[in-house]
Structure 1
Amino acid sequence: MTMFKTPYAKGLLTPPTPYVAGAEMVAIYTFAFTKAYSAATDIIELGPLPGGAKLTGATLIGDGLGALTADVGLMTGESGALADSEGSQRALTTALLFDAASVNDNESNATLGACLGIPAEIAARGIGATLSGNVAAGAAKTLTLLLRYTF
């Protein structure tokens, strides 16, 4: 299994955090397919849901990926880690924002119910994606997740 990560998931960039309680923040996580993706074994960690954050919205945008769908949601294990605390490969949990959402040059919005159904937690949690098919590496192939959240 290969785990692909955006710079946010690697901890190289920090998602927005507010200075005032109740302010809505927007994080934009984009993954570019510079290496081939195998649907059978690979997962993409798009970025963290910061500790204490409450989701208010999410938009998923696929560009150049063909007739594929994506599942996007919280991941097992610690945000940014390669494995969970038991050493198992990280995977998506059942807390999904998108279930089989089209990423064929498409934009999808998560329901408010799906967003509010994910409780805030003290620790940051990784948000990941799996795709329904393989993606060859290439220019102009991206998966973008825009998250809206408040504290």
Structure 2
Amino acid sequence: GAVVKLFGFWATIIGSLIGGVLMLRQGIYRSLWIFGFLQAISTAGFALLARMGYSISALSAVIAFENLSSGMGTAAYVAFMASITNKKFTATQYALLSSLMGVPRVLVSAPTGFFAKNLGWENFFIFCTLIAIPGMLLLLKFASWYSDEQR
């Protein structure tokens, strides 16, 4: 609990700030790709942690990296949502988009206990890393790396 609170909170804040700065250089679309990849890699860190066994320092590093990349990814996603809203309806559209952002968390959380129990922690986190691939592939449709419309 203390590791998550200490490293997680500050890493998320720092990740959001770093994400904002990097987005200015890379643009929103490329940032979605880079930060999404970092988030997937951070999930793989938990698989590595499961393989290693008990280590507070490794846990701290994985938690810090996961929250850092999460802050960066959230910054890019929020900027992306803001960029696709119509100025006349920004508040309504942004509210709907941010609500939709939570749907997968609600729907996917129910079976996670089943998967963790049946796969084991290491395989569960490998599975979680792999299920990031469909989301990354969606970026090909909505936020191409080579898009002419870099924001």
Give the TM-score normalised by structure 2. Answer: 0.28
- Which structure has the greater CA radius of gyration? 2
Higher helix share: 2
Give the TM-score normalised by structure 1. Answer: 0.28
